[in-house]
Amino acid sequence: MTTTARETVLGRVRDALTLAGPADAEVAVPRAYRTGRTLPDPERLDLFVDRLVDYKARVHTCTAQDTSRVIAEVLREHGARRIGVPAGHDPAWIAEYDGETFQDTAAFPAPELTDLDAVVTGSAVSCAETGTIFLDGSPDQGRRALSLVPDVHVCVVDLSSVVVGVPEAVARLVPERPTTMISGPSATSDIELERVEGVHGPRTLEVVIRTDA
């Protein structure tokens, strides 16, 4: 009797299910992650900046006192006349910005966020090893749409919130909170392997690292 391709595939599926055992059987998952790694502040900062620049993000280091000046200069460079901020933003961060400021709310339609020239948010934690910034929807970061829809994202990162690796970063996050991971501007490659930016998020990522915060 000739065996069809369908019968062959189904037979292999049945064999695999038999070998796998009961579906409710407990499986021990090894979790021997490297954790608790540390680096001195200068080395951690250098590593983080190196990764961010490699991802084509623009990086600005400053003291906490100079935060508003640096942010205002960045926004001015982009010609941002109207920016968005989360409801829990620190007003001192944009004290020197002379354009229009829109405070986002959940009721504001996400598609209309495209009318903003830029957005300024804080961050929850960052991973130096991968150059990844984590947002968790806290009041100074706002909802996910706010950081994804506008074309320019100015993200403030305190050096004290930058850890070495992913396990250290994840350990600082609250699992129940919505997490957005940012590794440089949004980018992908088309069928010709040409880099295209701004497809799934901001075309430009400006990271302001406060070295004494």
Report whether 208 contacts 158 (CB < 8 A): no
pLDDT tens per residue, range 102-138: 999 999 999 999 999 999 999 999 999 999 999 999 9
Average confidence (pLDDT) over 79-92: 98
Which residues in the chain belong to E strands, given as ranges? 58-62, 82-85, 100-103, 118-121, 125-127, 132-135, 152-158, 162-163, 180-182, 187-189, 195-197, 204-210
Give 135's strand partners. Answer: 180
Residues 58-79: pLDDT tens digits?
999 999 999 999 999 999 999 9
Question: What is residue 165's predicted lDDT score, i.e. its pLDDT?
Answer: 96
In this structure, is the dihedral angle defined by the CA atoms of residues 115, 120, 126 and 128, taken in order, positive or negative?
positive
Contacts of residue 121, Cβ cutoff 8 Å, sequence gap at least 6 = 85, 86, 89, 135, 140, 141, 142, 146, 147, 153, 154, 155, 156
pTM here is 0.85
105: number of Cβ within 10 Å: 11
The amino acid at 30: P
